[in-house]
Chains A and B, each alone.
Chain A
Amino acid sequence: MLEWLSDNRASIAAVLILAMIGTFVWSIVIGRRQAKLTANDEVFGDPVRTKGGWYWAVCGVSALFLLWSYYSWGVGRAYFPNAANEMCQIAKLEEAVSPIKAALPIGSRYYKSTLLASRNSDQLDDLEAQLGGTVFADAEKSELLDVIGQVRELIANSSNPTNMGEEPKAELLSLAERLNDLSSDIAAGPHGLTPSDEALAQPKWGTTFTEIPILPITERGMLFDTASVEAAEIAAAFNKIRNKFPANDVLIDDIKTRIDALKEINESGEFDELDRADREDYVKAVERIFKRLDDGLIFPAAALEDVGTAIANLDAAASDAQGGLRYADALFFPGPGIVKSRTQCTEQGAARWLPKPTDVVATFARLANPDVENGGGYRGFPLLWWDWLPIADVIAFFIPDWIADVWPGEYASHGPDGTITPNFKDNLLAFAQGDVSLGYIPMLDGHIWDSLFRVLVALGLGIFLGVPLGLFMGVSRFFKSFFDPLIELYRPVPPLAWAPLILTIFGIHDDGKIFLLFMVAFAIMVISARTGASGVLLSKIRASHSLGASDGQIMWNVILPNAMPEILTGTRIAVGVCWGTLVAAEMLAGTTGVGFIENIARTVSDYELIWVTILIMGVLGLVFDLIMRWIIKRTIPWRGMG
């Protein structure tokens, strides 16, 4: 069932999107009708005008869903399920011709040759200008000037069409012809091309981590795929062409010998260290420019014209061959489209980091599947499930080992026959370490539960210790003055700043994270309980005294209930802050938890997983808050009524 749903996610999305468009339109119709009904009863600014209006909520949610679907290419995939594969083939062709385009003013502003000529000429000008201030002797200076002039000549020679040799000319011409042939092939259409079985057996778009099937599965795709192979060959041939001719060969040899001679003088002459370094730097700078020019990469602009025209033809042919896909691309695939890089095709723009709604649901379903052996859960651990927990482990959690250590007596040692008879102290140790069998209880399990457990334990400890301290701080000068500096010193530090230290001290397992969260919850609970306690009306306290209540009774029966609203509000804040801190702490270190999943997802750029964890956190945070709001409503209906 799940399998089937997963495989048909594009069709499911297609139905859902239609339904959402219907809902969107319908909610607007209802909303407008309702607005007309009430228009005359309420003036602008009347708070009643914010009441109700569920249809606008429906409208907002469906709009959000549609926007999400659109920008994640969910709409595109739903109605053009093969588009990504075809766009991938087009991207292959694009990738294949990109080396040729890089040499032409297509995609960039200038010919590559133009850039080479102008940049190197500029640098030669700079060197010439510096020459006057160097330590070279006059004779050497004129020699260097000469060499620079020769390098300039090299550039000029290469740029002159009349100098160009017959061989590179013919090669360029033949490449242009091959490109034109390719264009006609593409224009002729995909006759007789059929996708291979291997290609048809590929998983559908988005159903695996690879996302886009790379082998062509349509005729049109086949056409572009085949073309891209030929284009790649043409590009390779193009890259090999060099603008070489005898006049430049002579010049190159001459420059080489003269530079070598200069280097020889630099090495053998008697110069002090600084001067030698200056001389060597200068000659090296000249040589570097020369080296860039000696392999014939500068072509006369006219020589590349034919290839440029052929590439333009090819682009036009490819664009025509795309047919309707061009419009689908423009309309339903916002962003730069699909790019082929080495081994895979990837979505670019919003679709890259915004997964499609159906994919998020599918990933969540995969994670939520408790069948860990068959690909469920995450890293061999379910998302949220249950398991049998040994009771002994629970007891061992609460009984520290040192209780056994301080128990009077000695641990048993092995007897003369090599056997060990455990005494009470040994048994106590086994108990404290959970080495006994006491049966099992069912217990929640999984990444989500681990995160929840950490928050709940830390929060429980924070409330249990923080509220009493806060209450005493609210009523006692000693408690207030003694503990205030301590708490105010650690509280303003962001919890995550403590994390590296605490994780080092307590280890990366639950202890450290629980302690970190405890610190957060404790400070919040102390402050809120204290505020609540010090806010008791004096007349209430005086009345209780006159009614014969003792200090302890007043604390428990008057101050605590009176501080309850602040304590509960504090708890609500603490839950939120703990939850936020926990996820961050789990991202720093650990092997389980929602934050851990996101951390791993981040390192492998699995955006679907990242979004799933974000949604889990959001939903759990919301659930926490709703529970707290419900508790507050139930327990302190008298809040603010005193």
Chain B
Amino acid sequence: MADLVCENLSMTFTNPQTGAAVHALKDINFTLKKGELLSVLGPSGCGKTTLLNLIAGFINATDGYAKLGGKTIDAPGVERGMVFQQGALFEWLPVSRNVDFGLRMKKNNPEENVRLVERWLDIVGLQGFGDTPTYQLSGGMQQRVALARCLINDPEVILMDEPLGALDALTREKMQSLVLELWKETGKTIMIITHSVEEALLLGERLFVMAPRPGRVHKEYRLPFAERGLKESLREIKHDPYFSEVREEILTMIWDMEEEIMGRA
């Protein structure tokens, strides 16, 4: 029963210039069951990254708590894997050494490492790239390496902060399919942050739309598209009338939030 539970999770920063309190998150409550796929959407600065950092254990909440499998989170751990937007690969290591980094850190058997690396490179579609320096890979391939590096550690939850944000549209679509496949095959709990409404709809079995000041979950959806995306082409799904309807609704919601921020500013 490795559920991710957040209860009254709150985070207040002090603005380093003015000293004023910034309520980045206030009273976040949700439970993410094992194997669920959650996407988080919201205007810039509404606390998405902060939420993810709290769950990853990089920062500590000012109030409330997050628990994974009944254990309160207070530090980073291998059971919560991270995929960043970009720049988190170790450019001085070739692909295979990046992928087995976690295994090497826990002094795993080197022969087994080789086998696992091969398998995971195969899964993310990078067979034969083991010895390539990461800086010679395209952006999409680099994110595949980041996925493999995270998954090889067999985490219970995978946390992704705008993992596809820096990719071009075509690569992005391929990577979205890959994420769905991985989700299906591994049955991992995945929490993915994005600023693209379409992506949030496609990759969200559940979807949170967050609102700023204070950062909070504004609206929650349960959507069928991720499940369908495993069988159908993503492009077809995008033409589904229900898809368009939800997309318009969320777009309006975020538009209004942005208007409000502007008005207040």
> Using a CB–CB distance below 8 Å, which chain A residues touch chain B?
537, 539-540, 542-550, 553, 557-558, 561-562, 564, 636-638, 641-642
Contacts and interface: CB of A to CB of B under 8 A. Distances in A.
Contacts of B149: 543, 547
9 contacts: A540-B90, A543-B82, A543-B84, A546-B82, A561-B90, A561-B92, A562-B92, A564-B92, A638-B91
A549 B89 CA distance: 14
Contacts of A539: 84-85, 87-88
B153 A547 contact: yes
A550 B105 CA distance: 8
A553 B103 CA distance: 12
Contacts of A637: 133
Nearest to A540: B88
A46 B135 CA distance: 28
A-B residue pairs, 8 tightest by C-beta: A641-B135, A547-B102, A545-B76, A548-B78, A539-B88, A642-B91, A543-B88, A546-B82
Contact of A542 (B82, B85, B133): B82
Nearest to A560: B92
Nearest to A565: B92
B2 to A, nearest CB: 17
Contacts of A636: 92
Contacts of A550: 105
B129 interface: no
B243 interface: no
A561 to B, nearest CB: 4
The winner among B85, B92, B105, B149 for most chain A CB atoms within 10 A is B92
A638 B136 CA distance: 9
Contacts of B87: 537, 539-540, 642
Contact of B80 (A546, A557, A561): A546
B88 A545 contact: no
B107 to A, nearest CB: 10
Interface residues of B, number: 28
B133 A638 contact: yes
Given A542-B82, A547-B102, A549-B105, 14 more contacts: A539-B87, A542-B88, A545-B57, A546-B56, A546-B76, A548-B77, A549-B102, A557-B90, A557-B105, A564-B92, A641-B91, A642-B87, A642-B89, A642-B91
Contacts of A564: 92
Nearest to A641: B135
A558 B90 contact: yes
A615 to B, nearest CB: 39
A548 B88 contact: no
A546 B79 CA distance: 8
A562 B82 CA distance: 20
B105 A553 contact: yes
A554 to B, nearest CB: 9
The winner among A542, A636, A641 for most chain B CB atoms within 10 A is A542
B contact patch SS: loop
Contacts of A553: 105
Interface in B145-181: 146, 149-150, 153
B116 to A, nearest CB: 14
B178 to A, nearest CB: 19
B174 to A, nearest CB: 23
A542 B90 contact: no
Interface string B103-118: 0011000000000000
B81 interface: yes
A542 B105 contact: no
B81 A544 contact: no
A contact patch SS: helix
B30 interface: no
Nearest to B161: A539
A393 to B, nearest CB: 40
B59 to A, nearest CB: 10
B92 A548 contact: no
Given A542-B56, A542-B76, A537 B88 contact: yes
B58 interface: yes
Contacts of B90: 540, 557-558, 561
Nearest to A642: B91
A544 B56 CA distance: 12
Contacts of B146: 543
A309 to B, nearest CB: 89
A540 B91 CA distance: 10
B91 A547 contact: no
Contacts of B105: 544, 547-550, 553, 557
Interface string B53-95: 0001110000000000000000011101110110111111100
A144 to B, nearest CB: 88
B101 A544 contact: yes
Nearest to B81: A546
A557 B98 CA distance: 11
Given A537-B87, A540-B87, A638-B133, A547 B92 contact: no
A546 B101 CA distance: 11
A548 B88 CA distance: 15
A1 B39 CA distance: 86
A641 B87 CA distance: 9
A338 to B, nearest CB: 64
Interface string B12-27: 0000000000000000
A636 B135 CA distance: 12
Given A542-B56, A638-B92, A547 B78 contact: yes
B95 to A, nearest CB: 13
A540 B85 CA distance: 11
Nearest to B84: A539
A628 to B, nearest CB: 18
Nearest to B100: A547
B132 to A, nearest CB: 12
B231 to A, nearest CB: 32
A546 B91 contact: no
A564 B90 CA distance: 13
Contacts of A557: 90, 101, 105
Nearest to B83: A543
A549 to B, nearest CB: 4
Contacts of A537: 87-88
Contacts of B56: 542, 546
A154 B77 CA distance: 112
The winner among A542, A548, A637, A642 for most chain B CB atoms within 10 A is A548
Contacts of A642: 87, 89, 91, 135
Contacts of A548: 77-78, 102, 105-106, 153
Nearest to A547: B102
Contacts of A543: 82, 84, 88, 146, 149
The winner among A544, A558, A562 for most chain B CB atoms within 10 A is A544
Contacts of B88: 537, 539-540, 542-543
B77 to A, nearest CB: 7
A400 B135 CA distance: 49
A503 to B, nearest CB: 42
Contacts of B76: 542, 545-546
B143 to A, nearest CB: 13
A548 B78 CA distance: 5
A636 B90 CA distance: 12
Contacts of B81: 546-547
A543 B101 CA distance: 10
A548 to B, nearest CB: 4
A177 B106 CA distance: 109
A543 B83 CA distance: 8
A544 B92 CA distance: 14
A564 B78 CA distance: 27
Contacts of A540: 87-88, 90
A193 to B, nearest CB: 81
B71 to A, nearest CB: 16
Nearest to A635: B92
